[in-house]
Amino acid sequence: MTIHKEGYTSIALCILFIFVVNALIQFYMPEANTLKWIVYILSALLFFIILQFFRSPVLTLNAEETQVLCPADGKVVVIEETVETEFFKDKRIQLSVFMSPINVHINRNPISGIVKYFKYHPGKYLVAWHPKSSTENERTTVVTENSEGVAILFRQIAGALARRIVWYVKEGDQVLQGHQFGFIKFGSRVDIFLPLNTKINVEIGEVVKGGRTVLAELPSVGTFVDIDEVPDEMEIPDFTKPSEAKLSDEHGEPTMVVEHEEKPKRRANRQAKTAPKEKFGKPKA
């Protein structure tokens, strides 16, 4: 167990606050022993709460291509079919995890792949369980596509207490399942949007763990066929022979012209930070 780098400032401010309060009581009320003990106990409790909030546990990762790992500690509050309007613009299965102030608030990549889309949205600070918090609160949107071309969208959503969202990814990054992509301070929510034919492994109200609980299993687009099962009338190309594709002679000599058009990348309004290094346990045999 270690302390996350996002907690250093908060822990330092907490220690300073506790020191000032205890010093003032000791100076102005030196004989109020009962009050001093109450303040000592409350100070220790406050320090413990802040310290455990920024804890960073050591994980054992067993990454699978089609599995969707939970992006955060918390409780499943939404499983429903809905229309995702920002990127996919079609029907998806929405799965939402609510993080209370006592949960670990590290956010982890649900799958491995390439970040195809990233955007930061400034917004309101409605309570995290409010129906409109997914579209009106301050949030980030990340779309990651795995090696089979299956993409999922997930959002960090700020809540009434969580006024700071931190992210470590940007468009074009290659990310690893279970590794950190961000952090939200003091309670919030994460939404995940999955294909309709995804198998959901959790239920509403279930307590889940970031980087450990398998929320769902994605459909696999890869299909392997035994060569003996291929029909006789199907022609199988021989890739060991040179291609006989007809070439263009538009430029005087037989040539093949391939044109590429580069698309401009979207940029977030704020700079992505660097993910902190962390320890991982050995995978189970």
Buried b (16+ CB within 10 A) or exposed e, 9-29: ebeeebeeebeeeeeebeeee
* 188 tagged catalytic: yes
Q: Are 208 and 97 in contact (CB under 8 A)?
A: yes
* DSSP-derived 3-state class of residue 78: strand
Q: What is the largest CA-CA distance in the chain?
A: 101
* DSSP-derived 3-state class of residue 17: helix
Q: Which amino acid is at 255?
A: T
Q: Looking at residue 188, what DSSP letter applies?
A: E
Cα 174 → chain centroid? 13
Q: Of 133, 188, 243, 248, which is the active-site residue? A: 188
User: What are the catalytic residues?
Assistant: 188
